[in-house]
Amino acid sequence: MVRLARVTVLLGLALVAAWALGLRTLEAQDGASPETELEIPFYEYDPPSTLRVPETRVIRARYPFIDVHNHQFAMADQDLAPVVAEMEELNMAVMVNLSGRGFRRVEMPDGSTRFALQEPEYLRRAVENGRSAAPGRFVVFTNIDFRGIDEPGWGERTAAAVEADVGNGAQGLKIYKSLGMDAVDAAGERIPVDDPRIDPVWAKCGELGIPVLIHSADPAQFWLPKDGQNERLFELIERPGRIRPPDSNPPWEQIIGEQHDVFRRHPGTTFINAHLGWMGNDLARLGQLLDELPNVYTEIGAVLAELGRQPRFARAWLVRYQDRVLFGKDAWAPEEYRVYFRALETADDYFDYYRRRHAFWKIYGLDLPDEVLRKIYYANALRIIPGIDKSLFP
C-alpha cells in the first residue's frame, strides 16, 4: 500500500512537470520567452486602451475661470502677450501669479547657491507689466523670506513688508512648501509651519483682507518606502529628489498638523490650502477640516487625478463643498488645462491624465452641475481675493 502511494505521488509530480513544460512551450511559441517579458520595467507597461466609449473634446472652459495657482516666474520683465493669447483660447479670465515677489539666485562666497527674495521694486514692475499687457487679467501674490527669523522684530518687519507690497498692488500672500520642511533658522533648526514668530504675518493678512495660499508638505507617499507598495513609485523613480526619508525629515502628519494649527490660531485670516491639502485621496478627512474651519478654502492644482479616480464620491464631495473649492492648475502648460475641463465638465469614462508620474491610472469625468462649475471656476475666488474685476464674469 505504501509503495502504491509513492508511485501515485511520483506520477502526479511528473504530470505537473509535464503540464508546466507544456505551458512554457506554448508561451514561448510567440518568439519571446517569459523571462524576457518579466524584465520589462513596470513603468514601461502602458498599452493603448482598446476601450471604445464616447469621448468629449473640450478645448475651452464652459465659463470664464480664475486660475488661483499659477506661476510666472519672470513676470516683471517678460512679454505677456503670448500668455494673454493662450488665456483667451482657454477662456481664462484671470491668472493669479503666486510668484509675484519672486526669488533671485545668489552665489555665496563658498561657492554654494541660495535664493533671496527679490526687492519690492520687482513686485511693482510685475504688477505694472500685468496691467499694461491686459488690465484686470493678472493678479499678483507676494512672498516672504524666512531668513532672519531669529532677529528681534522679524515678524513685525515682515508683516509691514507684506502691507507695503499690498500697497504696491499685491492681492494675496503665497507660502512655499519650504516652510516646515527645508527652511531653517540661524541655529540650523527647522522652522515649523506654526512657528509663533510668524504669527504677526498671518494676523496682518487677516487685517488687510487678503488670502494666504499655503503649500505645506508634499504627497504623503513621498515619506513611504520606495518600493512596490508605494503608488507614487513611478514619480519617485522619475524624480528621486522628492523622496522624504523619515530619518532625516519631520513626519508628514506633523507638518500637516502644524499647518492646521495655524488655521485654528488665526480664524480671522482666510487660507487657501493648496493641492487639496494633500488629502485628495481622503476627501472625508479634508471635509472634516473644512467643516471645522470656515476660514479655510482649498484648490485642485496638480491633484485632479485624485478626484478623477473616484468620480462618484468626488462629485458628491464637490457638490457638498462647492463654496470652498477654487480652480487651480499650478504649472503653466496650456494644453494640460483641457484635461481639467474634460474632468470637471463631462461624464467621460477612462481617459488619460496628463502626467503619468502623478497618476499611474486613468481618470473619469465628474460631470459637475453648472452651479458648482461656476463657483469653482470663478465665484469662490471672487469672494475671497480682493480687487478682481467682476465685470469679466457672467
Print pLDDT tens along the chain (394 aa): 444 344 343 434 443 344 444 434 434 445 555 555 568 888 888 888 999 999 999 999 999 999 999 999 999 999 999 999 999 999 999 999 999 998 888 877 777 777 889 999 999 999 999 999 999 999 999 999 999 999 999 999 999 999 999 999 999 999 999 999 999 999 999 999 999 999 999 999 999 999 999 999 999 999 999 999 999 999 999 999 999 999 999 999 999 999 999 999 999 999 999 999 999 999 999 999 999 999 999 999 999 999 999 999 999 999 999 999 999 999 999 999 999 999 999 999 999 999 999 998 999 999 999 999 999 999 999 999 999 999 999 9
Q: How many domains does the chain have?
A: 1
* Cα 331 to Cα 41: distance, rounded to the nearest angstrom: 28
pLDDT at site 281 = 98
Q: What residue ranges in 65-164 does DSSP mark as E strands?
A: 65-70, 92-97, 103-107, 113-117, 138-140
pLDDT for res 41: 86
At 35 the pLDDT is 54
- What is residue 240's DSSP assignment? G
In 3D space, the residue among 254, 370, 340 whose CA is nearest the CA of residue 67 turns out to be 340
Q: In what order do the strands lie in the sheet with 138-140?
A: 65-70, 92-97, 138-140
Contact call for residues 354 and 303 (beta carbons, < 8 A): no
Residue 5 maps to a domain:
no
Give the pLDDT score at 278: 98
d(CA 235, CA 362): 16
Whichever domain contains 231, its CATH number is: 3.20.20.140
| Cα 243 from Cα 232, distance rounded (Å) | 10
The answer as to whether 234 is a domain residue is yes
Name, in order, each residue with C-beta under 8 angstroms of 68's C-beta and a sequence gap of 6 or more.
Answer: 96, 213, 272, 299, 301, 326, 327, 328, 381, 385
Q: Which long-range contacts (CB under 8 A, 24 or more apart) does 145-149 make?
A: 145/103, 145/116, 145/117, 146/178, 146/179, 146/183, 146/185, 146/191, 146/198, 147/116, 149/185, 149/191, 149/195, 149/197, 149/198
Residue-range definition of the domain harbouring residue 323: 65-389
Extract the runs of DSSP E, i.e. beta strands, from the chain.
65-70, 92-97, 103-107, 113-117, 138-140, 173-175, 212-214, 271-273, 296-299, 325-326, 351-352, 362-363
Give the integer Cα–Cα distance in Å for 274 and 218: 10
Q: Is residue 167 part of a domain?
A: yes
The answer as to whether 22 is a domain residue is no
**Structural domain contains residue 51:** no
Residue 39 falls within a domain, yes or no?
A: no
Interatomic CA distance for residues 242 and 302, integer angstroms: 15
DSSP label of 275: G
Q: How many residues are there in the chain?
A: 394
State how far the Cα of 237 lies from the Cα of 300, in Å rounded to an integer.
Answer: 24
- Inside any domain, residue 24: no
Provide the pLDDT for residue 40.
84
Record the cell numbers describing residue 57, joined without a space.
473634446
Q: Is residue 178 part of a domain?
A: yes
The pLDDT score that the predictor gives to residue 235 is 96
Q: Which three cell numbers stand for residue 251?
A: 513626519
